[in-house]
Amino acid sequence: MAVGHGDSSSSDKKSTDALSDLQTFNAENLQSNMKVIYYSRTFLSIIGGVIAGILGFKGLIGFVFYFLVMAVTSAALTAKAKFSIHSYFDTWNRVLLDGFFGGLMSFVLFWTFAYDIVHIF
């Protein structure tokens, strides 16, 4: 009897191993991680826009500044994930690219806003 139970549990283990080989993810936790990334990126693009406006950047330099801020953010998020991206996300693009263009819109908005307040009025 005990042997039979041991056999069944080991076969269960084998089937779960096969499932993890198929790259199953906890979708709920993945969604929550994506939300964390989205919040961080949006907040930092707003702050970056305000700083670019105060520094008085014009034209292309502002966009270069945005790329710099986003690169630093990606590095910081990677550090927050303890450099093991694949235990928190399915692909690298989640950390490196998601929310990039949405952040660019808020960056430009706050860049022009801060520039107008500090340098024009």
- Residues at the contact surface with other proteins, assessed by CB under 8 A: 1, 4-5, 16, 19-20, 24-26, 29-30, 32-33, 35-36, 39-40, 43-44, 47-48, 50-51, 54-56, 72-73, 76-77, 80-81, 87-90, 114, 117-119
The CA angle 25-28-33, to the nearest 5 degrees, is 90
- Cα separation of 55 and 53, whole Å? 5
> Shortest approach of other proteins to residue 71 CB, angstroms?
12
From 62, 66, 70, 69, select the one nearest 95 (Cα to Cα): 70
> Shortest approach of other proteins to residue 110 CB, angstroms?
11
